[in-house]
Amino acid sequence: MDDDVTLPPHPPTTPTGEPAPAPGAGTTHDPHVVASDVLANLRDVGGRRTADGRTVRRGVALRSAELRAQAIAADPAIAALGVRTVVDLRTAAERAAAPDVLPAGARGVHADVLTQDPQAPAADLTEVMAHPQRLEQALAALDPAARMRETYVDLVVGDAARAGWATLLRHVLDPAAGPVLYHCTAGKDRTGWATTVLLLAAGVDLDGVRAEYLAVNPTVRAMYGPLLHRFADAGGDPALLVPLLEVRAEYLDTALDAMADRFGSVDGYLTHGLGLADDEVTALRAALVD
């Protein structure tokens, strides 16, 4: 492969930063999708049913990919969401490479959940993609799926991760801070676990949690489609990259098992794992559920 060929770690975008999904990748059938021409993978966490028959409130917590497009600052559709707080779950290096463009009226909060593992594949693919001519060898040595499972354990039990999730949850439960939009890079792994924690805290059952976690795959695959095509054009096997560029049930199950093994239950994770007080857990559920 040509030494000059490089593959970006971020989902491809237009020159001005708008998401560039592949043709035919729409997910308009999904009621949690918030249509946006300037912000990729934007979803409302609300709308799912809890195990006791209630409904997670819409417009309280939203998730997305990174906020790269300059148009986000003045986009009327984004402004209509009324976002007051944007919680950025990315590493310092990711933020430096692509600083958040905040919606009008919103303030930014940094909650780096992978400080202890800045080279985790969920954080940034720069290292493995910097030299495509050696990428296949690097991926074979990495065992991408196994590495992703390790990262998901870190997202549950790592000190930085637990501190970051506590920061996010405390903003969601604070009436003055919401609505809250949180994101990582593609909005799939760190954002996916954050959403899992919120839905579990709200009382959504595991089927609903898994449905939301896996629902981003059509969008994520479309976002990364151009990258995979570039890798194939450079002579690589795109299948080697796929474990890094999608969410899988095995990743989520690894995280759920880690939570159960270390903390015993969702309540144990929220209190002993994330350090929330009992009244904060109660306030979080009240904020999330009708």
| Sequential DSSP letters for 185-250 | SSSSSHHHHHHHHHHHHHT--HHHHHHHHHHTHHHHHHHHHHHHHHHHHTT--GGGTGGGSS--HH
- Whole-angstrom distance, CA of residue 121 vs CA of residue 138: 12
CB 67 within 8 A of CB 86: yes
Peptide bond into 238 cis (omega under 30): no
Q: Which residues are catalytic?
A: 184
CB 140 within 8 A of CB 120: no
Question: How far is CA 47 from each of CA 56, 78, 170, 265, rounded to the nearest angstrom?
Answer: 5, 19, 21, 24
State whether the Cα torsion 275-278-284-285 is positive or negative.
positive
Q: Which long-range contacts (CB under 8 A, 24 or more apart) does 251-254 make?
A: 251/148, 251/149, 251/152, 251/189, 252/152, 252/192, 252/193, 252/196, 252/209, 252/210, 252/213, 252/214, 254/149, 254/152, 254/153
- Whole-angstrom distance, CA of residue 274 vs CA of residue 282: 14
Report which of 41, 196, 185, 177 is spatially closest to residue 109, judged by C-alpha positions. 177
